[in-house]
Amino acid sequence: MEYDVIVVGSGAGGSAAAWRLTKLGLRVACFERGDWQTPDNYPSTGLDWEIKKRKAFSPNPSIRNMKSDYTIDTSESDIDIANFNGVGGATVLFSGHFPRFHPSDFCTYTLDGVGVDWPITYSDLEPYFNVNDKVMRVSGLAGDPAYPEMKGFLPPIPIGEYGEMIAEGFNRLGWHWWPSYSAISTGSRSDSPCLNLGPCNTGCPQGAKSSTDVTYLPDAMRSGLEVVTHSVVVKVEVTSAGKAKGIWVLESTGNRRFIASKVVVLACNAIGTARLLLASKSDDQPQGAANSSGLVGKNLMLHPLGYAEGLFDRAIDLDKGPQGCCIYSHEFYETDEERNFKRGYTLHVLRGGGVLETALAGLDRREVHWGSSLVKDVVAMHRRRGSIAVICEDLPETSNQVLLDESRIDNDGMPVVIVKYRLGGNSKAMMSHGLTQARRVLKVAALKKVMAFGPVREAGWHILGTARMGNDPATSVVNMRGETHDVDGLFIADGSVFPTSSGVNPASTIQAVALYIADQIYETHFGVLTDGNAIENFC
Amino acid sequence: MQLKIFVDSLIPGDEALGAPKFSAVAWPLLQESRDLIAHVSVVIKEFRNSATGCVISESNESIESNEAMAKSFSSFFKEKHNVLYVEFREIVMGLYFSSPAVLVAMGEEEMPLFPRGQSLPTFNTDMLESVYSRGEIWRRVNGG
Ligand code: SF4
C-alpha cells in the first residue's frame, strides 16, 4: 500500500500541511514519534503543577526525559534546545503568543544588507496566514500600526492590571505596544474559552490553547488523515534516480518497517529534520539526503532571548491570564542606522509564575531566606515580579549548525545530534540594546530593583534554518515550493526552510509556510488548484 | 532523623501564618527521593564535622528552631555541593509549596488552577489611543 503523502512530525508545520493535503483529497499519513497527550494529566490540574512544569513537562528534553525524546548534545551551544516530542509537537508546550512575520522579514538582504532574501513574500503567504488564524483560533485586536491590515480575530486576551501598568510605561515613553496575538480561544461564543489559568506552557487542560492536537489534527482526521504514533522515522528512502520513495520507521516493538509514499514531507523542526536528512545517507547521497550543497544543518537560528525584571511595590494580578500572552512592542523591530546592529527585536511582556517560582527565584536573589522568615518572605514577594523578554532576530551563520556525531548512538539507533551555536556580534549588540530599553520601560512603569540579563540559556524554543529555502541549489536546500533541490518528491514544511528568523515567535509563520507548501505539493505532484479548493475559499 | 531536623531548620513553617513545618506536610513524600536523601545525609555528616557545624549543633538544645544552623548549613551545602544543593532545594521547596496546608496559610487557593479558573476584566482599548494616533509604523517593502 502506498500513501500519496507521508508527513513526518505532527507539530506546528506538520499538522498544518497534513490538514491541507487531506482536505485536498489526498491519502495522507502523519508519523509521530510520541503519543497523544491526556489533558487531564496536564500540570495545572493539580496543586503540584510547578513541580511537573519543571520536570515531566519541562521544555528541555534532557530534563523531561520522556521515552519519545532523543538526545541533543548542546555542550557546544550558548542556548539549550526546547522542544516536545508528542502529538502536537512544541505547540503542546508553547505559550500561544502568535505574531506573524512582518513584510520586511522576507527581504532583509535587500533592505538592510544582512541575511538573505526569501524567494517568497508576505503577500504570497497572506491568504495562508488568514486561514491559519481561523483554524488556530487566534485572538487579538485589529488596527495594529506595526502590521499591514489584519482582521477576523477572536476578542483579545485580557491584559489585567499588570498589563495596564506596563502599557502605561510604554505610553509614557511614546512607544508602540499592542495586546498579544494569541493562539488561544476567547469570548463567549467559544466552546472552550480561556480560563486565565496562567501556565499555558505546560499544556492547556481546558483546550483553549490551540495546540495542533486540538485544532488541525482532529479536523484532518475527520477527513481521513491517519496519525501514526510511537513511530520513529529513521531514514528517508531515495531511489538512485533521485526520487523520494518512502520512509523507514522504527516501531515501538523494535522492528523496522518500510512505508511507501509518492511524496515525503519532513516537519520535525529544524533539528529533527536536519538530523533525519543527514542520517539518510546512501551511495548516491553520501552527505545525507538532499545535501549536495553541504548546507543541511547549517545556518541554525535560535532567537537569543533576554529578560528584564523588576518589582512592583505591592502584589498585583500578574499570575492571572496566559503567562506568555499579555502585551508586546515592536518599537525597535526595524533597522535604525544610528544603532550598532541591523534588524531588531520584540519586547514581549510576560506574566508571573507560581509560588514555587517566587520561592526559588527569591532564594537566588536573596529576597527569600531559609529559616523562620521563609514563608513570610515568599508571601511578600509573590505576584510582584514583572518581566519583559527581549526576542532578538538571529542572523544566519553557517558556523551555527546541527551535525551528527557518528561515534555515539542514541535510543533510536541513530548518531547523536550535536548543536553548535554561538551568539553572533549583531545579536549581542541587539541584546544589549533591547535589555536597556526593556529596563527603561519597567522603570518608567514604576517597578523597583530593575535588572536585566541575557542570553538566557534555557530558551531555545524557536529553532529555525538548517534547510534554507532559495532559488539557487548551491546556496539553499529547498526551492521556493519547499521541495528539496536534490530529491524529487521530498519536501520540508517546518522552520528549517526559513532563510532568516525575524524577531517574533515563529509558530504562525511556520504554519502559514506549511499550508503554502502543501498547496505547492498538490500542484507539482497531484493536480490543479481551482476556485473550489483554493486556500482563499477554503475556510 | 538528622535529616528531618535539618530540613525543619531550613523550613520551620510560620506559626503566625499557621504554616506547618516541612516534616509535618512533606516528610513522607521526601522519602520517595531515596538517592537524594542518601547524598544529603552525607553532606549533613560533613557539615557536623566542620568547625561551624560542630559549634552550632553542640551549643543548642532546641535544634529544630535553630536559625543560625539553618543559615550556616545552607551556605555550607551551597558552597561545597552546589549541584546537589540545587536539586535538594528544588525538591524540598516543591514539596512544601505544593502542600494544601501551606498554600492555604499563605492565602492561596486550595483548589488546583483547573477547572477553577481565574477572572480578569475585559481589555479597555482606550489605553491604545496614543499608539493609534501615532499612525502606521510597519516598514513597507516592494512586492508586499
Ligand atoms: S490561560 Fe487559557 S490558554 Fe492558558 S492554559 Fe489556561 S485556559 Fe488554557
Cβ–Cβ gap A374/B108 under 8 Å = no
Neighbours of A383 (CB within 10 A): 21
SS3 percent helix, strand, coil of chain A, rounded to 5, is 30, 20, 50
The CA A387 to ligand 1 mean position distance, Å, reads 19
C-alpha to C-alpha distances, A150 to A305, A349, B127, B134, nearest whole angstrom? 27, 22, 20, 18
What is the per-residue pLDDT across A284-295, written as a single tens digit (0 to 9) for each?
Answer: 999 999 999 999
Element holding B84 (H helix, E strand): helix B82-96
Q: How many structural domains does chain A have? A: 1
C-alpha of residue A194 to centroid of ligand 1, in Å: 5
Atom of ligand 1 nearest to the CA of A182: 3
Among A50, A122, A164, the residue with its CB nearest the CB of B98 is A50
Protein residue closest via CA to atom 2 of ligand 1:
A194
Establish if A59 belongs to a structural domain. no
Q: What is the pLDDT of residue B143?
A: 61
Is residue A496 a part of any domain in this protein?
yes
**3-state SS class at A392:** strand
pTM, to two decimals: 0.96
Residues B120, A320: C-beta atoms closer than 8 Å = yes
**CB-CB neighbors (< 8 A) of A376 in chain B:** 14, 17
pLDDT (0 to 100) of residue A135: 97
Q: In a mutagenesis test of the A interface, which of B120, B124, B130 is the best target, namely the one with the most A β-carbons within 10 Å?
A: B120
Distance A210 CA to ligand 1 centre (A): 10
Return the number of other C-beta atoms located less than 10 Å from residue A200's C-beta.
27
**Partners of residue A121 in chain B, C-beta under 8 Å:** 141, 143-144
| Nearest-atom index, ligand 1, CA of A203 | 5
Nearest CA to ligand 1 atom 4: A200
Cβ contacts of A49 on chain B, cutoff 8 Å: 98, 112-113
Residue A49 forms part of a structural domain: no
pLDDT in tens, B38-76: 999 999 889 888 866 655 554 454 444 477 877 888 899
- Ligand 1 centroid to A319 CA: how many Å? 12
* Predicted local confidence at residue B6, as pLDDT: 86
pLDDT of residue B53: 61
B70 and A111 in contact by Cβ < 8 A? no
> Measured between beta carbons, which residues in chain B are less than 8 angstroms from residue A158?
120-123
Q: Is residue A70 part of a domain?
A: no
Kindly report, residue by residue over A228-253, the tens digit of the pLDDT: 999 999 999 999 999 999 999 998 88
pLDDT of residue A364: 92
Asked if A103's CB is within 8 angstroms of B140's CB, the reply is yes
CA–CA separation, A101 vs A509, rounded Å?
Answer: 6
* Grid cell for residue A487: 530529491
In-domain check, residue A488? yes
Question: Which regions of chain B are under pLDDT 50?
Answer: 58-59, 61-65
Across residues A376-395, what is the average pLDDT?
97
Distance (Å) from the alpha carbon of B42 to chain A's nearest alpha carbon:
20
Contact (CB, 8 A) for A120 and A509: no
- In chain B, domain spans: 3-118
CATH of the domain at A117: 3.50.50.60
CA distance A182 to A463: 20
**Mean per-residue pLDDT, A425-444:** 98
Which residue carries 511595590 as its cell? A313
- E strands, A132-215, are 178-179
* Residue A58 placed within a domain: no
% chain A with pLDDT above 70: 100
Whether A524 lines ligand 1, by a CB cut-off of 6 Å, is no
- Which protein residue has the closest C-alpha to ligand 1 atom 8? A204
The range of the structural domain enclosing residue A434 comes to: 2-37+80-537
Q: For residue A386, tell me if it sits in a domain.
A: yes
How many CA atoms lie less than 13 Å away from A241 in the CB half-sphere? 4
pLDDT at A538: 72
Q: Is the CB of A435 under 6 A from ligand 1?
A: no
